[in-house]
Structure 1
Amino acid sequence: MTTGSDEPKNRYLQYLEIVTGPLEEKKRYRQYKARIKRLPENYRIAVEALERYLMHFGPVDGSGAMEMYEDLADLFERSAADATPIRDIFGDDPIEFVETFMSNYPLGQYRARERHRFTSAVDRAIGATPPQDRTE
C-alpha cells in the first residue's frame, strides 16, 4: 500500500490501519459528509434519512458502501442543481426506491455469506440440493 506517492506507508500508518481500518476509506467518508452538508436543507434531510436506512440494510463493506454513498451524493447534488422535487426522486414508494438503489451494489461479504448460509440451510431442511452459485 502507498500513501499516494511511490513511497510505502510507515510502520505507524500500517499499524493504525490494522486498528482503525483503511485511512483512505475514512477520508472518502469525510468528503462524502462534506458534500451532503452543502446540499439545500430538504435534500440534506432526505439524504440523511436514506443514509440511516442504508447503514442498517445496505452493503457492509467499506469500499462498496462508499461507492454507494458517493453515487447517492452525486444523485442528490444533480437533483438539487436541477431543482428536481424530492418526491420525483423517490417516486411514490421510498422503500422501493432505496431497495432498487441498493440492488446496484454488491452485498458486503458478511451479509452475502450469511444469506448463502441461510438459503443453504433452508434448502437442506426441505431436502433440496442447494444451488452451487447462489449469491443472494
Structure 2
Amino acid sequence: MSILTKMIGDKRRWREYKARVRRLPDNYRTAVEAIEHYVMYFGPTDGDSVMSMFEDLADRFEKAAADGTPIDGIVGEDPVAYADAFLQNYQSGGWVTRQRAKLTKKIALAAHAG
C-alpha cells in the first residue's frame, strides 16, 4: 500500500475530489490547492478523515464560486488562520493532536512521579 493510498484511503474518492477541484474557476482552484497543500502537513492522517476534510473544502469553494463570493470573502485576511480554523474540525486523527496528547500524558506522568 502506498503512503498516498494509506493517507487518502479510497482512490475513487480522491479522484472524484480532484475532478471537483479541477472544475472550479482558476482562482478558486489555486486557493483550494494551496489550502490542500498546507493541510496535508497538519491535518488528520487516516484516509476517511482526510477525504472528508477535502470533500468539505471542495463543498465550501464550489458554493462560494456559485455564489460569486470572492476568495478573500472565504478565507478572510489571513489564509493561515482560515486553514488552521478549518483544520480544527478534523484534528482528532492528526499528527499534531497525537503529539499534544503524548506531551500532556508524559508531563502528567512526570508531575506525579517521584
Bin the TM-score by the shorter chain.
Answer: 0.7 to 0.9
Q: Which has the higher contact order (CA 8 A, sep 6+)?
A: 2
Number of equivalences: 110
Deviation at 1:27, TM superposition (A): 0.6
Determine whether 1:82 maps to 2:67: yes
Name whichever structure is richer in helix by fraction: 2
Candidates 38, 41, 48, aligned match of 2:33: 48
- In the alignment, structure 1 segments of 5+ residues that lack a partner are 1-18, 130-136
Query: SS at 1:103's partner residue?
Result: helix
CA distance in structure 2 between the partners assigned to 1:124 and 1:109 by the alignment:
23
| 1:78-97 residue CA offsets vs partner (Å, 9 max, x unmatched) | 11111101011011211111
Determine whether 1:62 maps to 2:62: no
Question: Once superposed, what is the RMSD of the aligned Cα atoms?
Answer: 2.3
* TM, length-normalised to structure 2: 0.83
- Higher Rg of the two aligned structures: 1
* TM, length-normalised to structure 1: 0.71
Equivalent in the alignment of 1:108: 93
CA distance in structure 2 between the partners assigned to 1:24 and 1:121 by the alignment:
31
Candidates 88, 105, 108, aligned match of 1:120: 105
